[in-house]
């Protein structure tokens, strides 16, 4: 069939123009070449397609049947070409991105907003998954791009760092106060003191509060992490693995762990005094600035990580992927 494609084009032109000579002029080829193409097609199909007379040619019954199908086929091809031209001119297409909920909200969203404004005809499909599932989807060809925290990657994928993030432990001041009271066995009321009878009650109260605050501040972070309700992401998560390695290396063994599958909830739970949460500092900046949560000081900081885009290292990237990477200033 494909070898006869040019013959079908000649056949269609002859049928539309009604003569060999008119078809030759329309196709910018010689009349013998037109006649030869028609003859080859008739011979290959084993039927006569035209009735020839002095005024030109007309389709036979078999020719009319073939004409309907060939005409529809070439119209479909023409429509396909027009659609591709329109896609190319307007930048129409789709881009499938895999990303975790937290990375999407705190990093990807800013890029998406500007990109969509610049390329409104590109359809964006966002698949919220863990890093492991994002890599799996990319390997299966179900997405075009992944935004992940760096981890061990397949050889046929390329990773481009985008930004750095820092894991920290946060909690509320009220939780720290209650934890200190519980662990230090401090009383909420001022104990009896002979100076009370010397008319120095106000001064003593201030001294007691100051002493109590000093004791609370002096509680080591390692001890806080071991004795608090420590809230972490679920096991198997890249971030959780990173925190588990840190705790083990620092010889910190938490006595109580609450596992949650969403970092934004970790931030919110810490803010309402449920315990100490492991979060990414950059994702909790608003709550840290407002004082809803405080960051616990660490003698040894948790190693920073980087977040970046992951894609197959094939040279045949889609136009939509190329545009997005270029928009993110990741010219490849």
144: domain CATH number is 3.40.190.10
- Count of positions (residues) in the chain: 332
DSSP string, 34-93: HHHHHHHHHHHHTS--EEEETTEEEE-HHHHHHHHHHHHHHHHHHHHHHHHHHHHHHT-E
Q: How far is CA 254 from CA 177, 193, 223, 261, 296, in A?
A: 19, 38, 9, 19, 15
Q: Are 72 and 101 within one domain?
A: no
Residue 100 is assigned to a structural domain of this protein = yes
Residue 34 is assigned to a structural domain of this protein = yes
Looking at the structure of the chain, the number of domains it has is 3
pLDDT digits (tens, 9 = 90+) for 311-329: 988 767 788 898 898 888 8
pLDDT digits (tens, 9 = 90+) for 245-304: 999 999 999 999 999 989 999 999 999 999 999 999 999 999 999 999 999 999 999 999
pLDDT given at position 217 = 52
Averaged over 125-149, what is the pLDDT?
92
Residue 64 is assigned to a structural domain of this protein = yes
* pTM reported for the whole predicted model: 0.65
Selection from 86-100, 210-224, 310-324 with the highest mean pLDDT = 310-324
pLDDT given at position 206 = 43
HEC profile for 113-161?
HHHHHHCCCEEEEEEECCHHHHHHHHHCCCCCEEEEECCCCCCCEEEEE
Question: What's the distance, CA 151 to chain centroid?
Answer: 16
Q: Are 115 and 56 within one domain?
A: no
Q: How far is CA 232 from CA 102, 133, 155, 190, 235, in A?
A: 14, 19, 30, 37, 9
Domain extent at residue 52: 2-89
Give dist(CA 282, CA 201) in Å, integer. Answer: 45
pLDDT given at position 214 = 44
Whole-number average pLDDT of the chain = 85
Residue 83 is assigned to a structural domain of this protein = yes
The residue among 220, 213, 214, 191 whose CA lies nearest residue 204 is: 191
Q: Are 172 and 278 within one domain?
A: yes
pLDDT given at position 144 = 93
Instruction: Please check the confidence at residue 151 and state whether its pLDDT lies above 60.
Output: yes
Instruction: Please check the confidence at residue 49 and state whether its pLDDT lies above 50.
Output: yes
Q: Return the higher-pLDDT residue of 181 and 267.
A: 267
The residue among 231, 232, 228, 230 whose CA lies nearest residue 179 is: 228
Q: Are 109 and 202 within one domain?
A: no
Instruction: Please check the confidence at residue 90 and state whether its pLDDT lies above 70.
Output: no
Give dist(CA 294, CA 299) in Å, integer. Answer: 16
């Amino acid at each position: 069939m494909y070898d006869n494609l040019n013959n079908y084009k000649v056949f269609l032109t002859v049928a539309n123009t009604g003569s060999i000579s008119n078809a030759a002029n329309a196709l910018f080829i010689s009349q013998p070449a037109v006649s030869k193409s028609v003859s080859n097609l008739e011979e290959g199909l084993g039927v006569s397609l035209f009735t020839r007379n002095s005024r030109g040619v007309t389709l036979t019954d078999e020719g009319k049947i073939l004409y309907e199908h060939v005409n529809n086929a070439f119209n479909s091809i023409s429509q396909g070409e027009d659609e591709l031209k329109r896609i190319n001119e307007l930048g129409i297409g789709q881009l499938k991105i895999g990303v975790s909920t937290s990375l999407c909200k705190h990093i990807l969203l800013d890029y998406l907003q500007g990109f969509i404004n610049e390329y409104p005809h590109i359809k964006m499909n966002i698949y919220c998954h863990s890093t492991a599932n994002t890599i799996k989807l990319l390997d299966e060809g179900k997405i075009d791009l992944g935004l992940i925290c760096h981890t061990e990657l397949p050889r046929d994928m390329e990773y481009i760092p985008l930004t750095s993030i820092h894991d920290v432990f946060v909690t509320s001041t009220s939780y720290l106060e209650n934890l200190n009271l519980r662990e230090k066995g401090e009383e909420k009321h001022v104990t009896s003191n002979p100076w009370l009878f010397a008319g120095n009650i106000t001064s003593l109260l201030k001294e007691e509060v100051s002493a109590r605050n000093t004791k609370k501040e002096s509680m080591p972070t390692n001890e806080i992490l071991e004795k608090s309700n420590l809230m972490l992401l679920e096991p198997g998560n890249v971030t959780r693995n990173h925190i588990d390695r840190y705790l083990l290396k620092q010889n910190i063994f938490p006595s109580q762990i609450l596992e949650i599958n969403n970092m934004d909830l970790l931030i919110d739970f810490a803010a309402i005094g449920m315990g100490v949460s492991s979060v990414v500092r950059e994702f909790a900046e608003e709550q840290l600035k407002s004082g809803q949560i405080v960051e616990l000081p660490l003698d040894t900081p948790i190693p920073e990580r980087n977040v970046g885009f992951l894609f197959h290292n094939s040279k045949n990237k889609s136009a939509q992927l190329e545009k997005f990477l270029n928009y993110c200033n990741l010219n490849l």
